[in-house]
Amino acid sequence: MADGARGLHAGRVGRAHGLDGGFYVTRALSRLLSAGTNVTVAGLTVAITRRAGTEQRPIVALEGITDRAAAEALRGETLIVERDEAPALAEGEWWAHELEGCRVVDGDLPLGTVSRMIALPSCEALEIERERGGEPLLVPMVKDAIRRVEPARRLIEINLDFVSPPDPVPRRERPPRARGSS
């Protein structure tokens, strides 16, 4: 969810909240939306002056946006945070833009390329565009599924058996039951 050299997508301006220029942020990356952080919206770079709401439905107010009409005029615009303003991530965490485009393998078997990261209810998952076509493969970002991630080498190794277990051996068909006669 990055926009090239411009930075990280922090979300989109949603509907206005209140009369003071605050608004909901949709598709939010909440950890990027702290008071004091500079965001670029509609070509202007301004500071977040207030952060409220929840992690799932944050509400922010921006410097210079002081009434409901000004907030509504920005509705649908993307909020971008420069990468150097983003908080540091813990070991084993990556921003989506660091993984998008990485080759995905299981050992020596090439599987495809990461097309995007998706937030699921229990974890994030990588959507893999398969090398041989077909439906995308979803890989949960959990230890059992991901063997190693090397963004500098643009490589992710997964455990395909965990992600897509082999089909079980089909049960043999049982002979029809003998029915009693009356």
Pair 79, 107 in one domain: no
Pair 100, 73 in one domain: no
Q: What is the mean pLDDT of residues 165-175?
A: 54
User: Of 23, 50, 83, which closes a domain?
Assistant: 83
Pair 59, 111 in one domain: no
Does some domain include residue 25? Answer: yes
Q: What is the pLDDT of residue 70?
A: 96
Residue 136's pLDDT band (boundaries 50, 70, 90)? Answer: very high
Q: What is the pLDDT of residue 24?
A: 97
Q: What is the pLDDT of residue 4?
A: 42
Pair 50, 14 in one domain: yes
Q: What is the pLDDT of residue 166?
A: 62
The model carries a pTM of 0.65
Q: What is the mean pLDDT of residues 127-138?
A: 91
Q: How many domains does the chain have?
A: 2
Burial of 131 (0-12, 13-18, 19+ CB in 10 A): middle
Pair 75, 9 in one domain: yes
Q: What is the pLDDT of residues 63-109, one digit of tens each?
A: 999 999 999 999 999 999 998 888 888 888 888 888 999 999 999 99
Look up the CATH number of the domain holding residue 126: 2.30.30.240
Residue 3's pLDDT band (boundaries 50, 70, 90)? Answer: very low
Does some domain include residue 76? Answer: yes
Does some domain include residue 91? Answer: no
Q: What is the pLDDT of residue 178?
A: 60
Pair 100, 146 in one domain: yes
Look up the CATH number of the domain holding residue 63: 2.40.30.60
Q: What is the pLDDT of residues 156-165, one digit of tens each?
A: 999 998 987 6
Does some domain include residue 169? Answer: no
Pair 63, 123 in one domain: no
Sign of CA dihedral 87, 146, 56, 74: positive
**Residue 85: closest CA among 42, 132, 33, 131:** 33
Pair 19, 54 in one domain: yes
Does some domain include residue 128? Answer: yes
Q: What is the pLDDT of residue 90?
A: 87
Q: What is the pLDDT of residue 1?
A: 41
Burial of 66 (0-12, 13-18, 19+ CB in 10 A): middle
More confident residue, 182 or 61: 61
User: Of 83, 115, 130, which closes a domain?
Assistant: 83
User: Of 24, 55, 83, which closes a domain?
Assistant: 83
Q: Can you give the residue range of the structural domain that contains 12?
A: 4-83
Q: What is the pLDDT of residue 6?
A: 61
* pLDDT above 50 (res 47): yes
Pair 77, 102 in one domain: no
Does some domain include residue 100? Answer: yes
* pLDDT above 80 (res 177): no
